Structure 1
């Protein structure tokens, strides 16, 4: 098929104005190309087609990650799939069974606050979570079954609500696979993973299934013994834009963790770099969900709806400060919750003309209810409960309405204007009656995008919008500190953000796609990590601005390069004696990769990630170290059905840190608290060998 004859290109030329519908048609076309030309095109070629957003995007910082790109990248953990979002860094500060740490656009997003994530239409972020607001645990993700990741950055999109100020990512699983899949991976430190997946035809549809068994001890002196059982079933008929699906997901995990260590404990020999000062920290978790998606393509309209139900739980034992409350009991604490949540999302788009101008009008409704029975914080020793700090029963409800108008004024200019309204209601029944109560809040957030072009494969964007994140419901009703009894001020249930962006999308040269964005984001209240509690608390207002530059170059049908460079400046907006730097706010990141495919039977990839230094205290007197990490994959296809791949993580065995904090702790034998650097090391070089059979 010649380039000018691609279905996506023909469709683009005929109905470029219908941005959202066009995007879906293009993706279906690319899927068809992948299915029918897989023997002719390499993954590099298919990837380049699928990720070209010219004429589709509303900003310079949104895009689509194809399944080919995701499959080509060696990933240490499932959550690292989010590193395919340009500028996003994924790390870990404790056991691998808990949610990762995320960094984007100058945010230490903690475990997910200000970045919204969805898998199969089901939200992953957990409000009023036991361990952190917006907790995003992606350990249930099966990367091999992901068809695409659609991502956006900034608060410019009416469809995106809570937690999406820095950005949002939507993982879509396949409806059908080209072939069944049996995969086994073995590695160092007790690593073993098996995956069975397929999508046989059943009746008029297909039944996608995936079953994952996982075990890993890690490089730690005390084996992590992380065990995971993970499964997916999806029955679907039709297509993403004109069909329906029913999806069930189930995940269970348990582990022993190595929490971050005080630097002085390592320097003194009290603990090894990969050691632990509390051998009983760790956790267990589960997540079960059922969701349904429906889409209908009408004459001049597109309708979508999805409904979801989720049950999840977590028991997490941590010890970040060791003996500040005195040993031998120590500072171990347990954060636990049992949650049932459900929601509904519906939207409708109408394609018409106003005075001869092409127009798309869209509107939608989103609802969510979370019930926690209970969510608690407990003092523990060796995972045995000593005392209840607080235990709450929480009900949180939200509803969001949004509308959007997209108007093409000329062949080279279109505008998208939208408005979103959200209302939240919290009810907290606390073990401390003074902290019980109800709270509610609402917020209206305008959005505007102006798109100029395309001219010679170049588009310019201007984006402005307001967004928000919700605060923990317990903070909205609190009156006294549950540990000390001191009075505390309540936080606002909803915190406004305001962002703007100037973007560019272009083809600098043949087969070289490039995007750039100059952005700014202001937040009315920052959420900061509190080391001794393992949670976040509301802080001062902040301002962030920065520059992003992302590139994809495919000089041949077997070679691709991608380069993502990001710089940001982050400060509190008000003055305070302690300083105006925001702890954990990263300034510079980079992600550079090379992918090769169809060099005879060989394929592979190499990726380099740079994670710049961050201030650890407000006056910037203590800073984290930068880290540089390289991962490598080398693969060989013995037959079209059978392949073998070797992944090497931390290729140069660099001794770096995944995360660093600065706070006070007390080691056994110390007579007072000591402020110190606390770190979780990057894992040393490790190898994994994967055998894949497709049938």
Structure 2
């Protein structure tokens, strides 16, 4: 009896809860402008209102003008209207509504406006005729959530949606949905990706601020590099959207926001249980389980993810596991509480880099065929392990007149150990009579981060228009132990300490941002952010003697830093669909505490950036089709940049740098069937010549490793077919990356890269089968490429002083099959 009942339950489903449009509660009528001549016919103004989850009007835009005086009168009235919020089930939604407001001739009576809810959210009512006795309201639900207006052309609020069908290995790969992003990884499956963004080699986080629903992920004074941020632990199925702000233009952006800021926003729209199991090339196995209680909102979920595999070549095995859970509690109609926790552990091996000449000449310690040589390695004692644990509590209260108060407390515990060898036997100075012991470097990091973050929006109204003013703050304290040591080639025992520091850092920051529309076609945004840092470093690797005699091999250092960064944007609405935005701002990267001197006023890496471009959006509500396109040019200067050094295995300062670039992107969505996004970006990064004018952004020495041209296409197409009188849902997806030649040191360039990933799936009732192929054409590509001097021939071999290319191999063609079972309590579209 149990098995048939279980099968029926798995295959049964009920329709998804419908979206209930907002209902007007209170609507004071607009006041007839006093400075216009007597009306002889009705004047119609169409407003687009943004309604928050409390039914308050948080933004007013004119979609169809009736003249400046009538526009202002309608907007002034709209700020006082109140609605019952739109809902899906019991969950309130933030939506946009279109409201036509009619100004009638004086001869007609002017009763108070009334509201009529449409029968279907997608079909707005016809506007009231000119001789109607009362103006009518028509509401159209635009979507389940409404992103705030962008602070710049390069401020992207990216809903993943059906582009999740495109093959991706981790949540980090979702960054490719933003234009001008490239990812590379020389450290293995579990090591943080190197991010290239906006002409920056942002490393594993040094120039890009990364957050997870407000929780900071960048790690200060990390042994592998200041700002190291690993997002591999994030479960992709739980990522609802991303906000990628390219450039330092939002006052809420903080430390490390040099090239920009990325925030992962979590949510699980599908209610019920989704279990997925995958198996593919190189014995790769993946098991995920996500659950969203049917009676809760998408902010309540639990997810578990297990991954394991042999890797695509020797010494590339990996295993990791993670869990993420969140619950949202409604403490009243105006207040909600979110509790979030995550735990993750990983172990991985890596092949490191190999010399191009050794591969070409088949001198690698593997089989002599070209494929084995390409994926071979020198040092098997490379790899790493890491753990991460996160807890966060967020309190959100809605205040009167549309105000909000958000308070968040978070704690992060992190541990990491990695071993890498970039130069072989080159840097060691062995005792007399002994051979080189090897350059394998062990980097370890153990730290705890606790902090508070909050923002307050008072809900001010001026000149009849909501004036979004936001005050925010962040308080963060880190205590970390960071260390690097050299390991023997045989046995892996440490023989020398590179650095060993106990670091304590306090970051206190505050910002003020505001937005106003002095003219109906002009919106100004701006603000200022102030950050202070207090550093305390205990250097545990000092010499035990100096010129004055013996001493304790420890030393304390304290330093203080302060930085103020204004940011501003002007938005000009050239038409209802076309917008021109110009942005400028200052940003900063804090100092690596390991490089500070006692009582020093800590130097910052200061970034000055400007951008101007156009944004265009078109929507056909009748057919559910939308198109959004953006394009901009930008320029950036950095006072102190960092470039990867093979001798230390981390980034080292090189002085000032500059960038000049441009990007364009377009996304077309048609109902829930077709979703296509494409982007193209160009950037030139240079180190200016001494004494050169700051306006000559195209002059100077080209910085290495940063690709100048990046292209990306993501596309997913879904549909339904009838097979044996049964509805079968299907989808096909494509991901394509095109990466131009990357400059290398000594005026060398890498080869361009073209990668294609495809996927297909079919679903019948509760069961879905999928197949994905990454690197469809089985290209032999180099994920990371360098040019420097090394010696991998052995401890007794003489080192060559000639720089040569080194690379880490990219993955070959990878095929993976997936079985997914939806234990839903509601019907999902197949």
TM-score with structure 1 setting the length: 0.89
CA deviation digits over 1:619-655, x for unaligned, max 9? 6x1112211111001111122x221111100011111
8 Å CA contact 1:376–1:392 kept in 2: the answer is: no
Structure 2 CA distance for partners of 1:129 and 1:468, relative to 1, 3 Å: same
The 2-side partners of 1:30 and 1:550 are apart by 26
The answer as to 2:751 corresponding to 1:625 is: yes
CA distance in structure 2 between the aligned counterparts of 1:602 and 1:448, rounded to whole angstroms: 46
Give the distance between the partners of 2:601 and 2:701, measured in 1 at CA. Answer: 21
Hey, what does 1:235 align to over in structure 2? 327
Name the counterpart of 1:390. Answer: 499
Q: Which of residues 400, 403, 406 is equivalent to 1:304?
A: 406
Contact 1:121–1:293 (Cα < 8 Å) also in 2: no
Equivalent in 273, 277, 280 of residue 187 of structure 1: 280
1:526 touches 1:542 (CA, 8 Å); kept in 2?
yes
Structure 2 CA distance for partners of 1:637 and 1:62, relative to 1, 3 Å:
same
- In the other structure, the counterpart of 2:10 is none
Q: Aligned ranges for residues 276-675 of structure 1 at < 5 Å?
A: 276-300=377-401, 301-325=403-427, 329-381=437-489, 382-433=491-542, 436-453=556-573, 455-477=575-597, 492-507=602-617, 511-554=626-669, 557-575=672-690, 580-600=701-721, 601-617=729-745, 621-639=747-765, 641-669=766-794, 670-673=797-800, 674-675=802-803
Q: Would the alpha carbon gap of residues 140 and 544 (structure 1) be closer, same or farther in structure 2, given more than 3 Å must change? A: same
C-alpha change, 1:206 and 1:125, in structure 2 (3 Å) is: closer
**Post-superposition offset of 1:179:** 2.1
1:445 counterpart SS class: strand
Q: What are the superposed Cα offsets for residues 94-148 of structure 1, whole Å, 9 maximum, x if unpaired? A: 2122111111111111111111111132111112101012111111010001121
Q: Tell me the distance in 2 between the aligned counterparts of 1:491 and 1:650.
A: 49
The separation in 1 between residues aligned to 2:326 and 2:670, in whole angstroms, is: 37
Q: CA deviation at 1:436?
A: 4.0
Q: Deviations over 1:586-632 (max 9, x none)?
A: 21100012210124321021111011112112x6x111221111100
Quote how far apart the aligned CAs of 1:70 are. Answer: 4.6
CA distance 1:645–1:527, shift in 2 (3 Å): same
Please provide the CA RMSD for this pair. Answer: 3.3
CA distance in structure 2 between the partners assigned to 1:433 and 1:140 by the alignment: 36
Q: 1:77 to 1:197 in 2, by over 3 A?
A: closer
Q: Secondary structure at the match of 1:313?
A: strand
What is the distance in 2 between the residues matched to 1:51 and 1:553? 18
Asked which structure has the greater CA Rg, the reply is: 2
Displacement of 1:203: 9.9
Shift of 1:163: 1.0
Q: Aligned partners of 2:668, 2:659: CA distance in 1, in Å? A: 30
Distance across 1 between alignment mates of 2:423 and 2:680: 36
Distance in 2 (alpha carbons) for counterparts of 1:664 and 1:102:
25
Residues 584 and 611, structure 2, Cα contact 8 Å, conserved in 1: yes
Matched, 1:153 2:224: no
Please point out which of 238, 260, 264 is paired with 1:171: 264
Unaligned 5+ segments in structure 2 are 1-15, 24-46, 52-56, 63-78, 98-121, 123-141, 365-372, 429-434, 544-554, 621-625, 693-698, 722-728, 824-830
| 2:49 counterpart SS class | helix
Taking a change above 3 Å as real, the CA distance of residues 210 and 77 of structure 1, as seen in their structure-2 partners, is closer
In structure 2, distance between residues paired with 1:155 and 1:205: 30
Partner of residue 484, structure 1: none
1:516 & 1:52 partners in 2: Cα distance?
22
**Distance change (3 Å), C-alpha of 1:58 and 1:589:** same
CA contact 1:115–1:166 (8 Å) conserved in 2: yes
Shift of 1:386: 2.0
1:252–1:464 Cα change, 3 Å: same
Cα distance in 1 for partners of 2:145, 2:738 equals: 23
Residues 558 and 201 of structure 1, relative CA distance in 2, 3 Å threshold: closer
Kept in 2, the 8 Å contact 1:88–1:104? The answer is: yes
Please give the secondary structure, in 2, of the residue aligned with 1:539: strand
1:248 aligned onto 2:341: yes
**Deviations, residues 460-509 of structure 1 (Å, cap 9, x unaligned):** 11111100111211012399xxxxxxxxxx99542110111112110368
Residue 574 of structure 1 deviates from its aligned partner by 2.9
Alignment gaps of 5+ in structure 1: 34-39, 41-47, 480-489
TM-score by length of structure 2 reads: 0.75
SS state at 1:471 partner: coil
Partner of 1:597, secondary structure, is strand
- SS of the counterpart of 1:180? strand
Render the CA deviation track for 1:417-457: whole Å, top value 9, x for unaligned.
Answer: 20111001111111234864112110000111111126231
Q: 1:50 to 1:74 in 2, by over 3 A?
A: farther
Q: Conserved in 2, the CA contact under 8 Å of 1:51 and 1:63? A: no
Q: Secondary structure at the match of 1:456?
A: coil
Equivalent residues of 1:204, 1:237 under 8 A apart: no
Aligned counterparts of 2:290 and 2:670: Cα–Cα separation in 1: 33
Offset of 1:32 from its aligned partner?
12
* Contact map agreement 1:540 1:574 (CA 8 A) in 2: no
**Structure 1 residues 15 and 363: CA distance shift in structure 2, 3 A:** closer
Find the residue that maps to 1:189 and give its secondary structure.
helix
Equivalences, count: 663
Contact residue 272 and residue 294 of structure 2 kept, 8 A: no
